[in-house]
A and B are shown apart, each in its own frame.
Chain A
């Protein structure tokens, strides 16, 4: 797997320009939503509901890509694929990667918000 940056600086710059005053709200919304999604993924994995797991991963992937977090998006794709194929073990690995990567992204976003 190719290494991707935690945050896509270029995409973020554009997003900032587009969102103007609402940029901070967007990021905060994303961080909040993402925690909910990770909780949903964990819940689905425990329940063995791979279909629900794949759907959540798919949505998470979409918003992560849009917000400029390509690496997180890539892990979400792994999770989605594993979920759809019913590979519970791979799904579990992908979810761990998502959790770790989300920590990185959250730290970076918070630095961005505080700057």
Chain B
């Protein structure tokens, strides 16, 4: 039809009446009102003409031969589908039950005989308005439906991109339990875990202000930085600083990320926890004690780099201890009455747990029973990390693949850091990066990182800063150790650490010689080496056991301030 929806003016009006005179009168009335009448003598013809002419409004006599008005109305309404085609019954019946049946069959109104032209005109106009309104609604509904479908498609694509950037990292580690909605990214929640090249792992759980795309976009660089820097061997302080700086720069005012950053070192059973704006985290000890890890910082993306503090709580743990951290989804989970789960219920749940390992299931179960609404689960991001005796997973995290066979195999490199740089810069990622240019050495990055990191820590903390490692044997000494470390770093004058790295290829691998020379006074390495086998002083050995295990040889020169490690490796 040429014009399916005239706003005003001429409408096509189907008139079905078996009485020739009635049809004549109605046609004339309709025509005088500016519309185009289409006449049908019975219900059959009415349905046929409806298909042929696609009229806007239908006037149906109730009693007609061949097919009566009700059946015609049913068929016409079915043919019209979603379009609103008003059907007005022409009748001289006033029996209520019959009239009701007319409406049930799909009729919209009645027009009684004798016809009144004023009423007929008013009804046609009224139904045309309704028809137009219906059309507008339908169009808008379709528009919204299409937009919504498109939005969901876009989110789906965005999520795929995001998953490639953020991936699940090491979330599938055996000692890690977590819950995160598959689309949590659009709730503004992030949960990342990544193994460190030196062993141990980083975990970041965060909650962006806002929802939807803006939150998802903010999460992308966080994932990039988190996985990129962690894989390269950076520590939690460096990663935090970089993420904060990035978010501060890209997020609009008022948008930020409440987050907790956890660095877990399994070999020395130590946790570093930085909490900025998330609810309390809990460390549940094997003996039932519980430590609260409060938010001590502003969220990420709020403070400028100069004012941002990366001070993390350092906690000495035992194997079997479990750390539980969640976004506000747990305490703010609502039940049907609108009450929140709250911290009291959470603490009661923690109290009820017999063994740390059961914490995750207990909390998830309690929240699930409290808030039966599934939407709560969608807004919930939570993980429980169990400390383990050893680092079961020293294989590298995803994303680092074997490089090509050609590359740097024979080289010598000196690198020296002095004074303030010692306190402000971590040279390990850079040194590791240089070593990783050796083809095939990449899958040994964990071991190389451990060697570099042990040597550097020894040189800095013991050699130059003269910190006694015995302090780390007690929780109080632990705090003192790190406070003193920061204090002494500030005052360094005329000190330096010099690395000499040399690599040469062998038949099926290569030899990496690392020499670390500090300007400190050295130490009585003979005495320390004798203590090596005493399990009680696990921090006192300067990690020398580890160095010796990993390397072909470990030798001390001078006063013990020059250490040489020879590391032989093969492709197999």
Interface residues of A (CB under 8 A from B): 11, 14-15, 18-20, 22, 25-26, 29-30, 33, 55, 58-59, 61-63, 65-68
Residue of B nearest to A30 (CB): B21
| Whole-angstrom distance between the Cβ of A55 and the nearest chain B Cβ | 6
Picked from B18, B32, B63, B115, the residue with its CB within 8 Å of the CB of A66 is B115
Are B21 and A26 interface neighbours, CB within 8 A?
A: yes
Per a CB cutoff under 8 Å, which of A11, A25, A59 touches B19?
A59
Q: CB distance B63 to A65 under 8 Å?
A: no
Task: Give the contacting residue for A59; candidates B18, B25, B29; CB below 8 A.
Answer: B18
Chain A residues touching B, majority SS: helix
Q: List 27 A-B contacts (CB under 8 A).
A: A14-B117, A15-B25, A18-B25, A18-B28, A19-B24, A19-B25, A20-B28, A22-B24, A25-B24, A26-B21, A26-B25, A29-B20, A33-B19, A58-B63, A58-B92, A59-B63, A62-B61, A62-B91, A62-B113, A63-B19, A63-B21, A66-B19, A66-B21, A66-B22, A66-B25, A66-B113, A66-B115
Write out the residue numbers on chain B whose beta carbons fall within 8 Å of the beta carbon of A29. 20-21, 24
Is the C-beta of B494 less than 8 angstroms from some C-beta in chain A?
A: no
Q: Out of B19, B28, B115, which one reaches A22, CB within 8 Å?
A: B28
CB distance from B518 to the nearest CB of A (A): 113
| Complex interface: chain A residues within 8 A of B32 (CB) | 18
CB-based contact B28/A19 at 8 Å: yes
> Which chain B residues (68-115) contact chain A, with CB distance < 8 Å?
90-92, 113-115
B interface residues, Cβ below 8 angstroms from A: 18-22, 24-25, 28-29, 32, 61, 63, 90-92, 113-115, 117
CA distance A65 to B90 in the complex (A): 13
- Docked Cα-Cα span, A11 to B63, in Å, equals 24
Nearest Cβ on chain B to A102's Cβ, whole angstroms = 14
Query: Smallest CB–CB gap between A59 and chain B, Å?
Result: 6
Q: Output the residue of A18, A62, A63 with the most chain B CB within 10 A.
A: A62
CB distance from B13 to the nearest CB of A (A): 16
Q: Taking A19-B28, A22-B24 as given, write out 7 further A-B residue pairs in contact, using a Cβ cutoff of 8 Å, ordered by the A residue number.
A: A15-B25, A18-B29, A18-B32, A30-B21, A55-B63, A59-B18, A65-B113
Q: Are B28 and A61 in contact, with the CB atoms below 8 A? A: no
Task: Check A18–B117 contact: CB distance below 8 A.
Answer: yes
Q: Which residues of B contact A18 (CB under 8 A)?
A: 25, 28-29, 32, 117
Chain B residues in 8 Å Cβ range of A59: 18-19, 63
The 8 closest A-B pairs by CB, nearest first: A63-B19, A30-B21, A66-B114, A65-B114, A63-B21, A62-B113, A62-B92, A65-B113
Chain A nearest Cβ from B439, distance in angstroms: 99
- How far in angstroms is the closest Cβ of chain A from B110? 13
Complex CA gap A26/B24 in Å reads 7
CA distance A38 to B63 in the complex (A): 18
- In the complex, chain A residues whose CB is within 8 Å of the CB of B20: 29, 33
Shortest distance from the beta carbon of A31 to any chain B beta carbon, whole Å: 9
Bound CA–CA A77/B504 (angstroms): 117
* Alpha-carbon gap, A103 to B91, bound state (A): 26
Q: Smallest CB-CB separation from B29: which chain A residue?
A: A18
Residues of A within 8 A of B18 (CB): 59
**Distance of A14 from chain B, by nearest CB (Å):** 8
| Residue numbers in B under 8 Å from A66 (CB-CB) | 19, 21-22, 25, 113-115
B24 touches A61 (CB 8 A): no
CA distance A22 to B18 in the complex (A): 19
Q: Which residues of B contact A20 (CB under 8 A)?
A: 28
Cβ of B115: which chain A residues have Cβ within 8 Å of it? 66
B407 CB → nearest A CB, Å: 99
Beta-carbon nearest neighbor of A70 in chain B: B114
Tell me which residues across on chain A come within 8 A of B24, comparing CB atoms: 19, 22, 25-26, 29
- Kindly state the separation between the CA atoms of A108 and B568 in the bound complex, as whole angstroms: 127
C-alpha gap A95/B24 in the complex (Å): 26
Per the bound structure, the CA–CA distance linking A105 and B276 in Å amounts to: 98
- Report A-chain residues with C-beta under 8 Å of the C-beta of B29: 18
- CB of B510 to closest CB in A, whole Å: 106
How far apart are the CA atoms of A22 and B25 in the complex, in Å? 10
